[in-house]
């Protein structure tokens, strides 16, 4: 028996700083409608999908910063997306900047949610691995100040029974860390959704930066294969406010094979018919965790943060 799901990644082209949320939501609704026409049941949208990628700028005015955040989801400007998805009967993953009163203070997270086809919130995730810096790096036109604007996520890497299978989420830089996938795989993940904004100049070292697309693919394919899970990753791409961000949105099978990939850096829907049972072969053989893993030998992974070199 197979468990098939028609899956899409709705890659988005650039969002200018001056673009309003209603204008962005209209683009997302167009992508949803195209998805419906192609028989899609679930759509993955990018990280921070309602605004430009604001961590590229040093902004001092807290009111201005908070203008990029959502106090409620859906809110007055974002609910048309939720309404249309429900009308079309399509579930989705989407990322946004979350401003929330928690533990007696205002907190800011880089967040994603899964919404079911009937419009119910299935789950929330807050980005754990925040890349970049808290202070601007001299000489860079585009900064990467996620460590300044967000706190690390505090919800772990949960998974949910939805879409007829077990689904988890991560956000952008998380996809480069093997722990991300493994924690979800240890809960039986069959699909991992990822939204991302990846500039092509993030180290400033050409030898590294020219491989940005390759490192992205490598991470997703390794994560999928080593954890016997589908991975669906949606970019915000193209030249956004002078920063070039990679496209290459893709759907990767548990075999590690790429089954769909974007060919532009604009708004583009990619789709694949995914058998959620495909990972079972790997989970019963080479990656049968309960037979082959040796957790007692991996203790350092949770005990140690940075490398300590031998004497
Ligand atoms: N958004 C995000 O996490 N982007 C990072 C690139 C920047 S690292 C300074 C990524 O890992 O793609």
Would the pLDDT of 184 be above 90? yes
Which of 55, 134, 144, 247 for a ligand 1 pocket mutation test, highest count of atoms within 8 Å of Cβ?
144
Which sequence spans correspond to the domains of the chain?
Answer: 4-303
Residue 170 annotated as catalytic? no
Among the listed residues 9, 36, 41, 47, the single catalytic one is: 47
Q: Which of 36, 41, 70, 127 is catalytic?
A: 127
- Establish whether residue 180 lines the binding site of ligand 1, counting it when its CB lies within 6 angstroms of any ligand atom: no
40-59 pLDDT, tens digit each: 999 999 999 999 999 999 99
Q: Give me the percent of the chain exceeding a pLDDT of 70.
A: 99
Q: Report the atom number in ligand 1 closest to the C-alpha of 202.
A: 9
| pLDDT, mean over the chain | 97
Cα of 222 to ligand 1 centre, how many Å?
A: 18
Helix %, strand %, coil % for the chain, to 5?
A: 30, 30, 40
> Is 131 a pocket residue for ligand 1 (Cβ < 6 Å)?
yes
Rounded average pLDDT over 222-230: 98
9 belongs to the catalytic site? no
The pLDDT value recorded for residue 202 is: 81
Considering the four listed CATH numbers 3.60.110.10, 3.90.950.20, 1.10.150.120, 3.20.20.140, the one that applies to the domain covering 4-303 is: 3.60.110.10
- Give the rounded percent of residues in the chain with a pLDDT score beyond 90: 97
Mean pLDDT, rounded, for 273-279: 98
**Polymer length in residues for the chain:** 311
Checking if the pLDDT of 2 tops 80, the result is no
pLDDT band at 141 (very low <50, low <70, confident <90, very high): confident
- The answer to whether residues 159 and 193 touch, using CB atoms and an 8 Å cutoff, is no
Query: Which residue do the tokens 């949208």 mark?
Result: 45
Write out the two tokens for 229.
Answer: 């899970």
Q: Is the pLDDT of residue 1 over 60?
A: no
Query: Which residue's CA lies nearest to atom 4 of ligand 1?
Result: 198
DSSP code, position 290: H
């Amino acid at each position: 028996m197979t468990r098939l799901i028609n899956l899409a990644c709705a890659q988005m082209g650039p969002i200018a700083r001056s673009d309003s949320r209603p204008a962005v939501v209209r683009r997302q609704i167009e992508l949803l409608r195209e998805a419906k026409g192609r028989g899609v049941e679930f759509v993955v949208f990018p990280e921070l999908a309602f605004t430009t990628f604001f961590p590229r700028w040093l902004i001092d005015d807290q009111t201005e910063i908070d203008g990029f955040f959502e106090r409620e989801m859906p809110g007055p400007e974002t609910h048309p997306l939720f309404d249309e998805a429900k009308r079309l009967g399509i579930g989705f993953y989407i990322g946004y900047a979350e401003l929330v009163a928690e533990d007696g203070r205002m907190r800011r997270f880089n967040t994603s949610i899964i919404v079911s086809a009937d419009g119910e919130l299935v789950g929330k995730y807050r980005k754990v691995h925040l890349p970049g810096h808290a202070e601007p790096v001299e000489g860079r036109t585009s900064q990467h100040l996620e460590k300044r604007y967000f706190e690390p996520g505090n919800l772990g890497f949960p998974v949910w029974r939805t879409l007829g299978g077990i689904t988890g989420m991560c956000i952008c830089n998380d996809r480069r860390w093997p722990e991300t996938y493994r924690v979800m795989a240890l809960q039986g993940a069959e699909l991992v959704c990822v939204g991302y904004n990846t500039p092509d100049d993030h180290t400033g070292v050409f030898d590294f930066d020219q491989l940005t697309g390759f490192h992205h693919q490598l991470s997703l394919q390794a994560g999928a294969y080593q954890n016997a899970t589908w991975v669906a990753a949606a970019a915000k791409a193209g030249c956004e406010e002078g920063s070039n961000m990679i496209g290459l949105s893709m759907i990767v099978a548990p075999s590690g094979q790429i089954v769909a990939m974007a060919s532009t850096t604009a708004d583009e829907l990619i789709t694949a018919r995914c058998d959620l049972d495909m990972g079972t072969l790997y989970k019963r053989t080479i990656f049968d965790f309960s037979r082959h893993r040796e957790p007692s030998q991996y203790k350092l992974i949770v005990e140690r943060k940075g490398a300590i070199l031998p004497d």
